[in-house]
Amino acid sequence: MRLASYLLERDEAEGLADAIQTERETHYASHGTWPSVAMLTRVRSNQETYAEALRERGIPVEVVGLKGLTETPEVQDIIATLTVINDPGRSDSLMRLLAGARWRIGPADLMALNDYAEYRAKRRAYAIQHQLPADFESEDGSKESDRGFASDTGEIVESASLIEALHNLPQPGWVSKAGRTLSEAAHRRLTRLKEELTYLRSLANEDLPTLVTEIERVLGLDIELLARPYAHEASARRHVDAFMDLVVTFEAAQEAPDLTAFLEWLSIASDHGGGIEQAPEPATDGTVQILTVHGSKGLEWDVVALPGMREGDFPSDRATNWVTDVSEFPWPLRGDRDGLPQFTALEDPQQWVENQRDLTDLNSLPSSSKKKKRVPRNTRPP
């Protein structure tokens, strides 16, 4: 057992990664096989910090659980692409693609694209209000409708959409009233991205596994994952394959699965667990598995790391509050309370006596008859 203290979380991640690397190499040198290794955290929010420190040392990593899975960079790119082709109002998802390593659209070009989105939104709102054709050709700022922001128009338009602006790019040289314009390099990249998204949107009605597979191919994720300097062929696709398993599971469970339903399910399940997080088998290929302490119950590894063991934090001494935490909601107030097990022994001793009598009667029956009678197992003595 080793104990270490660190001032910053990043320092702790670096120290744990070094210690795990030493343990792995020592075990392999003496046994000829990789040890099973796990890192158990209290919460999922900091798992990617530890995962990145391990990846930097060439150690394969698996982030276990849906929440951790959807926060890995490659899976986030897939989800962002699915969201963009499904909902034209999700500019936040498009921003991940635009500012990512693949397209590398800089801040100045992002501001110019946002100006054009505002320009289109205001011109469209003005056209609707006055029942006129929308004018997207004249210079920005040349009309009274170009003042303010698109959101100022109230119910006519909620906000400017970067996705709409991407699919209706301005002519090269267009200048916003703020004096911003898209660079030639950005205009070329945005045109290519528009073509890719248009193609993927044409597949939106295909079955979900086919769509996700095509997104992976178009984004070049298979090549990118293997090209990482710390990538291992056996584990490089681990998270993408795990996400594909989720897609297949969802589609098999739905009578009429569609992209909108899948994204809604994914969001809810990711935020609240959804009952789909399953404990993994300890990896035998040297992969370090990162998961929550709660998800590790009943499992064993050769090497286990426990980061973040601070007084008051791990274990936590924070009081629960059912107003802010749905998992703490009192069962008597739930709409389905009549169908839940009734733990009444502490409140009604007579109920416990009756249950004990039922248990005594059951024990006196022949073994072949016991299977036919249901025993109340949800009560306990006061």
Can you tell me the distance from the alpha carbon of 131 to that of 78, in angstroms, rounded to the nearest whole number? 40
CA distance 23 to 35: 8
Rounded Cα–Cα distance for residues 95 and 72 (Å): 17
Q: Please report the pLDDT score of residue 41 as a whole number.
A: 87
Separation between Cα atoms, residue 298 and residue 288, nearest integer Å? 18
Q: Compute how many other C-beta atoms are within 10 angstroms of the C-beta atom of residue 13.
A: 22
Please tell me the distance from the alpha carbon of residue 279 to that of residue 275, in angstroms, as a whole number: 11
pLDDT in tens, the chain (382 residues): 788 888 888 899 999 999 999 999 999 999 999 999 999 888 777 888 898 899 888 888 888 877 777 878 889 999 999 999 998 888 899 999 999 888 999 999 999 999 998 888 887 777 777 777 776 777 765 565 555 544 444 444 445 789 989 998 998 888 888 889 999 999 999 999 999 999 999 998 889 999 999 999 999 887 887 776 655 655 678 788 888 988 998 888 887 788 999 999 888 877 765 445 555 677 777 889 888 887 776 678 899 998 988 776 666 666 666 666 666 777 777 787 777 666 555 556 666 566 666 556 655 655 444 444 443 444 444 4
The residue ranges of DSSP E strands in the chain, in sequence order, are 37-41, 61-63, 288-292, 303-305
Number of DSSP helices (H) and strands (E) in the chain, helices first? 14, 4
* 8 Å CB contact between 214 and 208: no
At 86 the pLDDT is 92
Quick one: pLDDT at residue 156?
42
β-strand 37-41 against 303-305: which pairing, if any?
Answer: parallel
Provide the pLDDT for residue 334.
Answer: 78
Sign of CA dihedral 260, 263, 266, 271: negative
In sequence order, what DSSP letters do the residues of 303-315 get, joined into one string? EEE-----TBBTT
